[in-house]
Amino acid sequence: MSGIATSSNSYGNLIGRILLSSLFIPAGFSKLTALSGTAGYFGSIGMPAPMVVAVLVGLLELVGGLAVLVGYKTRIAAILLGLFAIASAFVAHMDFANQMQLINFQKNLAIAGGFFVLAAMGAGALSLDAKLRQ
């Protein structure tokens, strides 16, 4: 019985990692391949050093998303992406008079919650973290 639970937990964890990373990998890639547009947007919302922030955010999303996907240094990546999701909610989605901004704010908090659960539980058996521990 416990073998079945362990197996289903491993697959559930993998599916969760795939779903979480599916948002961040393309977003990071998009930011890094359109840096001037990303920096322009960041500048328009008052971010200091928008080009530097664009590069850092793009790298965090892309590299962190890939790390979560394959389960490498998962706890660290999940914590960083969870904190990023909270920060971006407070930086970019605070116009609660706009229903879409409120929904995006709430989604960011929910995504952060998923990342913090992942950080607490680890990547699971179907991950590079597990393979490297063996």
Task: State the pLDDT at residue 8.
Answer: 73
What is the number of residues in the chain? 134
Task: State the pLDDT at residue 9.
Answer: 86
Q: How far apart are CA 32 and CA 54, in angstroms?
A: 7
Assess whether pLDDT exceeds 90 at residue 34.
Answer: yes
Q: How far apart are CA 12 and CA 85, in angstroms?
A: 22
Task: State the pLDDT at residue 1.
Answer: 42
Tokens matching residue 96: 């609660």
Task: State the pLDDT at residue 2.
Answer: 47
Q: What is the pTM of this model?
A: 0.91
What backbone phi and psi angles, to 5 degrees, belong to 96? -70, -10
Assess whether pLDDT exceeds 70 at residue 108.
Answer: yes
Assess whether pLDDT exceeds 50 at residue 19.
Answer: yes
Assess whether pLDDT exceeds 60 at residue 67.
Answer: yes
Assess whether pLDDT exceeds 80 at residue 36.
Answer: yes
- How high does pLDDT run on average in the chain? 94
Q: What is the mean pLDDT of residues 44-60?
A: 96
Is residue 3 very low, low, confident or very high in pLDDT (cuts 50, 70, 90)? low
Assess whether pLDDT exceeds 90 at residue 6.
Answer: no
Task: State the pLDDT at residue 102.
Answer: 96
